[in-house]
Structure 1
Amino acid sequence: MGKIFVLDTNVLLQDPRAIFAFEDNEVVIPAVVLEEIDSKKRFMDEIGRNARQVSRLLDNLRENGKLHTGVKLKQGGLLRVELNHRSFQKMQDTFPNITNDNRILAVAMNLQVEEGQKESGRPVILVSKDALVRVKADALGLRAEDYLSDRVIMDTDIYPGFYELLVDPDKIDEFYTKKFLDLKEIGLDMNQVYPNEFYILKDRFGTSKSAVAKVNQNQTLLEPLRMNEAVWGIIPRNIQQKMALELLLDDHISLITMTGRAGTGKTLLSLAAGLLKVEDEQVYHKLLVARPVIPMGRDLGFLPGEKEEKLRPWMQPIYDNLEYLFNTKKPGELDKILAGMGSIQVEALTYIRGRSIPNQFIIIDEAQNLTKHEVKTIITRVGEGSKIVLMGDPDQIDHPYLDAMNNGLTYVVERFKQERISGHIQLNKGERSILAQLAADLL
């Protein structure tokens, strides 16, 4: 027996191809969903792009028949735009306001009542990314589910980039003597480890003997870390920060992803490594730092001033770290330094898309607020000889349709973890201050 899936607007705005994700079941799009999509199609952002793509997909499906009576999908199943079943009579005592969410709920509820009167009625399931819509559905006795097909991972355990491994103590001694260990000798299958992955070797008998190693790019050996000195005055304070600098300073790695809560040092470490590679070693021509502008209050266009003045509040976390690295004391001193150097550019992400960016050390902060399409757009613009660092906290997302399991940063982490030119590290310990760490843990 098949099922009937009623789709909320946010499902289609998150994944325009969601209509093809329900196998041989019936997919129902309420008429109000089309109205909401139509109101979004003029937006010049990811939501607008998805709204336009949904419109094109539905228009193409019209060639196969009338959408209000049902159109068969190539992947199996049936798609139908629901024009009836809009009566509020069954739910007006519980949710009397005629909102768009309640109109979608009404369609699902009336379909459920109709199917319940049939001898072989099908289950009706409302699919929504909106938690409150699912809560409302539950109150009405409707079955509701989150849309999971867009998730990169199915739980919150994102790939950490490092693991602890218990070994015999003589293997640790051998590692320090030979400066490498064969993966097979310590029981690791080269098909089960990833290039540039880290291992903390610990004595299986419980002594303090330990070592930190990285899988080589050929996935055959564990090798010692090479970074042992301060970078622009920054000394790593924990082992994950040391691993992060190892990746940041490796010229053979073109893509680095870093995850961690606020205060774990992601931005500071990346800027220090970028300054070393651009200013001191001159491996790259320019250091480009960007972050998405996700407004939590008034949008950027309503702020007074020119572009640079508007951007300054959004970019201030970057400038705070640069002031620390350059040890500036006076107001305006950092601006004079940056103007004199000319090799450091701080931009909103809006202004770097569409460009070709060769021979640059690129840092993208707050990457957890990017969609899969946006992060693909950015990485595909990286030119020859460039290195890009994507970092952020997947648990701190301001985008309305993203979460820890379907955002662009998590997407890149999972898709690139097997590639030789990429590396990932998850920073766990906050180093901003004792107070900041306590706040992250307790609040």
Structure 2
Amino acid sequence: MPRKKAPTTKIYVLDTNILLHEPLAFLSFKENDVVVPMTVLEELDYIKDSKKDVARDARVSIRAMEDLLHDATPEDMIQGVSMAGMTAGESAPTGTLSIFTDLTMDASQQVFTSNENDNRIINVALHLQKARAPRQVVLVTKDINMRLKAKGAGLAHVEDYRTDQLISDIKYLSKGYHTFEGDFWSNVKSVDSRTEGRDTIHTIPRKVLPEAYINEFLLDETGHFAGLVESMDDETMDVLDLGYERLMGRHAWGISPKNIGQALALHALLDPHIDLVVLTGPAGSGKTLLALAAALEMTVERNMYDKIIVTRSTPEIAESIGFLPGTEEEKMAPWLAAITDSLEVLHKNDENTKGSMNYIMEKANIQFKSVNFMRGRSLQNAIVILDESQNLTASQLKTIITRCGEGTKLICGGNLAQIDSNYLSAVTSGLTYIVEKFKNFSGSATINLDGVVRSRLAEFAEEQL
């Protein structure tokens, strides 16, 4: 067990799901001590050899702990090995990491007598809370039920792991646009306008919208103004006048926007200077259809990209994909039916819909790939459509974004109300994380599509169910 320290530092007991969510999470607790129960190591050992999509994360976590502990004696492992020097920066850890041998705990020290893994980990936290008083012992887990059990068993401090959580409530998530009350120009006292080619740019005072960020769209309630924040300094910001009617009149691959949200999304999707477009919104708001229409327009009509790569992650892909017959693309087909459905919609008026779809898939070089096989690749001059990205963690999304090479555009779509992962919520999803992290990046744009245009049935279901 960790050496006795001043009561100001805490002891954090980590559950397995924390290390699967972020493999190097044990380095995130600064001056505090971290305890990993032996049960957690056993679970990681089981997972690292499995076919689950978190097997790699388990291996990374085990290797990182081995790097720190490989020279430690058995006594050091119990007492705690200093993590100082493992990482640099202000938040670098200075506490210790220890392994607690909960497998040999006496029955009299245990609150739970059943031998479930969660119960054994909670028993460790309860034992340390009693043995190490007055130091605060905190159990960290993403399992809500386990948090409830621990509190019910008498553990004073139980927390979720939130170092990658940038907002406290999903209502604070950036929408990608700001709507002014009334007329836009009634909010602006002074303006300096200039023309660059066919574009009109307005320089307005920064105090009009102090919280503005690059590539944020500006609208007004009257429906007469639409602009885009191009640049800013401490005093002023440059707004590109997009023109409300011009935006609504744009089209891609025969698709025209049905509302201003779709028009903004289409503008961002077709802008060659924007490398990352994030589309959020409810089911039926047009995320996949707009992304595919824009991708086909830029690949086939404008010849700006060489291929379209469509990928998505579902929790069961890693285990189920191997049982399906055929090539990787044929195996992925059931999970990427949303894309083929959208292709069908885009060509429903053709004389031979099936023939048109096959022709376009070959012409645009559309490839279906599994997220699991994206690691290590370098994608050049392609459009990557990442569907259902709300189920990915921040580290998984980082893996995909860092695959994008020169001339590649990434489109991430997701509905934060449809998260399937056991350990993610709307505020901890990787999709939420990149929306907030990239909002000040000049090469990215975010649009929240809030209108359901699929059908009146889908719209009613989204509102009432």
Q: Equivalents in 2 of 1:28, 1:36: separation in Å?
A: 15
Equivalence for 2:15: 8
User: Counterpart of 1:81 in structure 2: which amino acid?
Assistant: I
Asked if 1 retains the 8 angstrom alpha-carbon contact of 2:266 and 2:294, the reply is yes
Aligned: 1:123 with 2:136? yes
**Cα distance, 1:150–1:6 mapped onto 2, change above 3 Å:** same
Aligned: 1:284 with 2:301? no
User: Counterpart of 2:152 in structure 1: which amino acid?
Assistant: A
Equivalence for 1:196: 215
Secondary structure of 2:336's aligned partner: helix
Asked if 2 retains the 8 angstrom alpha-carbon contact of 1:300 and 1:310, the reply is yes
Equivalence for 1:380: 402
CA deviation profile, 1:268-316 (whole Å, cap 9, x unmatched): 0111111111121222222222222432897122234444442221111
Equivalence for 1:160: 175
Superposition pairs of residues 174-185 of structure 1, within 5 angstroms: 179-184=200-205
Stretches of structure 1 that go unaligned for 5 or more consecutive residues are 203-207
Q: Equivalents in 1 of 2:317, 2:329: separation in Å?
A: 19
Superposition pairs of residues 91-130 of structure 1, within 5 angstroms: 95-115=112-132, 121-130=134-143
Asked if 2 retains the 8 angstrom alpha-carbon contact of 1:293 and 1:348, the reply is no
User: Counterpart of 1:160 in structure 2: which amino acid?
Assistant: K
**Cα distance, 1:44–1:136 mapped onto 2, change above 3 Å:** same
CA deviation profile, 1:242-272 (whole Å, cap 9, x unmatched): 1101101111111111111211110001111
User: Counterpart of 2:28 in structure 1: which amino acid?
Assistant: A
* Percent identity between the two aligned chains: 38
**Cα distance, 1:274–1:350 mapped onto 2, change above 3 Å:** same
Q: Equivalents in 1 of 2:178, 2:14: separation in Å?
A: 40
Q: Equivalents in 2 of 1:17, 1:407: separation in Å?
A: 18
User: Counterpart of 2:437 in structure 1: which amino acid?
Assistant: R
Moved more, 16-25 or 358-367: 16-25
Aligned with 2:284 (options 248, 254, 263): 263
Equivalence for 1:232: 253
Moved more, 228-237 or 398-407: 398-407
User: Counterpart of 1:415 in structure 2: which amino acid?
Assistant: K
Superposition pairs of residues 382-401 of structure 1, within 5 angstroms: 382-401=404-423
Stretches of structure 2 that go unaligned for 5 or more consecutive residues are 1-6, 85-92, 195-199
Moved more, 422-431 or 364-373: 364-373
Equivalence for 1:205: none
Asked if 2 retains the 8 angstrom alpha-carbon contact of 1:358 and 1:385, the reply is yes
Q: Equivalents in 1 of 2:44, 2:186: separation in Å?
A: 61
**Cα distance, 1:199–1:103 mapped onto 2, change above 3 Å:** same
**Cα distance, 1:146–1:196 mapped onto 2, change above 3 Å:** same
Aligned with 2:148 (options 135, 150, 154): 135
Shift of residue 128 of structure 1? 0.6
Q: Equivalents in 2 of 1:347, 1:315: separation in Å?
A: 9
Moved more, 150-159 or 273-282: 150-159
Q: Equivalents in 1 of 2:185, 2:14: separation in Å?
A: 59
Aligned with 1:415 (options 437, 440, 443): 437
**Cα distance, 1:24–1:347 mapped onto 2, change above 3 Å:** closer
**Cα distance, 1:80–1:249 mapped onto 2, change above 3 Å:** same
Equivalence for 2:379: 357
Equivalence for 1:344: 366
Q: Equivalents in 2 of 1:284, 1:326: separation in Å?
A: 21
Q: Equivalents in 2 of 1:27, 1:347: separation in Å?
A: 38
Kindly tell me the number of residue pairs found equivalent between the two proteins: 430
Q: Equivalents in 1 of 2:240, 2:154: separation in Å?
A: 58
Asked if 2 retains the 8 angstrom alpha-carbon contact of 1:87 and 1:110, the reply is no
User: Counterpart of 2:430 in structure 1: which amino acid?
Assistant: G
Secondary structure of 1:288's aligned partner: strand
Asked if 2 retains the 8 angstrom alpha-carbon contact of 1:86 and 1:110, the reply is no
Secondary structure of 2:99's aligned partner: strand
Q: Equivalents in 2 of 1:364, 1:3: separation in Å?
A: 40
Equivalence for 2:40: 33
Secondary structure of 2:58's aligned partner: helix
Q: Equivalents in 2 of 1:169, 1:373: separation in Å?
A: 39
Equivalence for 2:82: 72
Shift of residue 14 of structure 1? 1.5
Q: Equivalents in 2 of 1:334, 1:97: separation in Å?
A: 61
TM-score under structure 1 length normalisation: 0.87
Q: CA RMSD in A?
A: 2.9
Equivalence for 2:390: 368
Q: Equivalents in 2 of 1:49, 1:340: separation in Å?
A: 33
**Cα distance, 1:161–1:55 mapped onto 2, change above 3 Å:** same
Q: Equivalents in 2 of 1:340, 1:168: separation in Å?
A: 47
Secondary structure of 1:151's aligned partner: coil
Aligned with 2:323 (options 288, 302, 305): 302
TM-score under structure 2 length normalisation: 0.83
Aligned: 1:436 with 2:458? yes
Aligned with 1:275 (options 296, 316, 337): 296
CA deviation profile, 1:360-408 (whole Å, cap 9, x unmatched): 2221111222233332222222222222111112332223333323333
